[in-house]
Amino acid sequence: MTKKRLQNKISKKLDQLSHLLDNLEEARVIDSNDPDTWDSDALYNLSENLKEALQLLEDQKIKGQYDEFGQPLYEEGLCSFVDEYHSEEEDEDF
């Protein structure tokens, strides 16, 4: 993958992650010592946002797609893209 294309993918995923992290702020108002702040909707939203954040970060299986050896194919997550980016940077230095 070209470096520019990789940068674009990383940038897009970082923007999505930033948006999800902004949504996590709802849970910060919950005070363990104050039952009036215990909001189940905020906790369910937190759970969903965390799941989405993990999906952005981690490689995800592509349903129904397999390689020639029958192994599942994966869509790369943000962690893999950043690893690849730094790998290409190191290769350019040599």
Q: For the segment 6-54, what is each residue's pLDDT rounded down to a tens digit? A: 999 999 999 999 999 888 887 888 889 999 989 888 889 889 999 999 9
The length of the chain is 94
Gap between the Cα atoms of 58 and 11, Å rounded = 16
Q: What is the pLDDT of residues 44-89, one digit of tens each?
A: 988 999 999 999 999 999 999 999 999 999 999 999 999 999 998 8
Say if residues 31 and 42 touch (Cβ distance below 8 Å). no
- Are the beta carbons of 71 and 42 closer than 8 angstroms? no
Instruction: Supply the pTM of this predicted model.
Output: 0.78
Locate 39 and state its tokens: 């909001």
DSSP state of 71: P
In the chain, the amino acid numbered 51 is K
What are the tokens at 81? 């893209």
* Tokens describing residue 17: 């992650």
